Amino acid sequence: MNLASNYTIAVDAMGGDNAPNKILEGINLYLKNNHDIKFHLFGDEKLIIDRISKFKNFNKNNYKITNSPNIIPDKGSVRNAIRNGKKSSMWMAIDCVKNNNADLVISAGNTGALLVISKLLLKSIDGVNKPAIAGIWPTFKNPCIVLDLGANVEFSEKNYVDFSKIGSSLFKVLFSNNSPSVSLLNIGSEDSKGNIKIKNANDILKKSNNDFNYRGYIEGNQIKDGNIDVIVTDGFAGNISLKTAEGTANFITQEIKKIFSKTLYGKICYIFCYFIFKKIKKNLDPRKYNGGIFLGLNNPVIKSHGGSDGLAFFYSIELSAKIIKGDLIKKIKQKIFNE
């Protein structure tokens, strides 16, 4: 549904830790300065009404609640979610988008269930045989986009090419860049490196008339440099890269805290460096990059981190707003069909 400048986001209000509190907190933060989106909330109606009264930015014109009696467990099996999930907040939110009553769905619930139900109800865009999960990563320069982060373990040449097109479309919408750079994640920068599928994809992209700047291969340790806007990889390598990066960042943070808190001298040094560390923390705050984007479906789906707080959910909503206002799906379809 898209009328003039008004948009609707369908929200699984019961997904993830501390729901619906963090969901409502995130929406409330967005509504403080934005009035162009209406939120259709799916979940325990009585609970939502009780909690929503604590937030001042909600009014009768910017939200609607539909009661959904069931919740898909965050760690439940995908099979059970499909079998028993039709009256769940997640399923009903996705179905709302399917029926064109909302522009986008957002959930902090079970990732596997969200992906499978979205594929089942929303279907893949014609010409795209698999959806991908894309994420925004911080770098020394500007944020980049990495995909696939876990939706597909098996990859073909076509997937590399399709996701290069789709990922570049997303980057254009989010960052207003008409010629993003694109690379394939590989074990080396030489053309001889990698398996036969990535080599074939590399050849195809080099010879194609792309509307993005294809730059060949990139290695994992180069992502942080910020010289490439879109990095494409299979879901196996992408998910391992994501988890390794998250673990490394957490290790460094904990190690810094440990070192500075060990001695009196360290504590004094920390006091003098407090504002520097505060700025570093702000720049690298993972909540700012919250929101996995399911790409390749007929409608946009955003996966917020299950353990996220209200501020992180707010950033997921900001991401969602850019995607629907930028008409991402239409641009992806034009790219797939015209190239």
Q: Which helix (H) or strand (E) holds 271?
A: helix 264-272
Across the range 315-338, mean pLDDT stands at 87
**338 confidence band (pLDDT: 50, 70, 90):** low
Least reliable range by pLDDT among 158-172, 202-216, 258-272, 298-312: 258-272
Q: Is pLDDT at 5 greater than 50 in this prediction?
A: no
Cα angle, residue 94 at apex, residues 92 and 100 outer, rounded to 5°: 105
Cα separation, 170 vs 331, in Å, equals: 9
The confidence score (pLDDT) of residue 313 equals 93
**129 confidence band (pLDDT: 50, 70, 90):** confident
Are 144 and 285 members of one domain? Answer: yes
Is 41 a domain residue? yes
Are 42 and 138 members of one domain? Answer: no
Cα separation, 97 vs 105, in Å, equals: 7
Name which residue leads in pLDDT, 17 or 253: 17
The confidence score (pLDDT) of residue 1 equals 45
Are 151 and 105 members of one domain? Answer: no
Are 143 and 281 members of one domain? Answer: yes
Note down the domain range covering 113.
1-126+296-307
Cα separation, 324 vs 332, in Å, equals: 12
Across the range 167-191, mean pLDDT stands at 92
**339 confidence band (pLDDT: 50, 70, 90):** low
Which residue in the block uniquely carries the two structure tokens 């320069």?
A: 141
Is 276 a domain residue? yes
Rounded to the nearest 10°, the torsion over CA 261, 262, 267, 269 is -110
Are 200 and 121 members of one domain? Answer: no
Are 149 and 118 members of one domain? Answer: no
**2 confidence band (pLDDT: 50, 70, 90):** very low
**42, β-bridge pairs:** 12, 66
Is 321 a domain residue? no
Are 146 and 114 members of one domain? Answer: no
By C-alpha distance, which of 116, 90, 92 is closest to 23?
90
Cα separation, 275 vs 256, in Å, equals: 15
**Which amino acid, 208?**
S
Structure tokens at 179: 């010629």
Q: Is pLDDT at 188 greater than 80 in this prediction?
A: yes
Q: Is pLDDT at 239 greater than 70 in this prediction?
A: yes
The confidence score (pLDDT) of residue 4 equals 40
Structure tokens at 67: 């009661």
Number of domains in the chain: 2
Across the range 77-103, mean pLDDT stands at 91
Across the range 220-236, mean pLDDT stands at 95
Is 316 a domain residue? no
Name which residue leads in pLDDT, 294 or 336: 294
Is 337 a domain residue? no
By C-alpha distance, which of 119, 59, 117, 50 is closest to 86?
117
Which residue in the block uniquely carries the two structure tokens 């990732």?
A: 111
Are 117 and 142 members of one domain? Answer: no
Are 164 and 234 members of one domain? Answer: yes
Q: Tell me the CATH number at 115.
A: 3.40.718.10
Cα separation, 158 vs 163, in Å, equals: 8
Are 94 and 210 members of one domain? Answer: no
Residue 20, preceding peptide bond in cis (omega within 30° of 0): yes
Across the range 158-185, mean pLDDT stands at 93
Is 312 a domain residue? no
**161 confidence band (pLDDT: 50, 70, 90):** very high
Are 107 and 149 members of one domain? Answer: no
The confidence score (pLDDT) of residue 6 equals 82
What is the tens place of the pLDDT at every residue in 190-206? 888 999 999 999 999 99
Are 175 and 94 members of one domain? Answer: no
Mean pLDDT of the chain: 89
Pairing of strands 144-147, 132-137: antiparallel
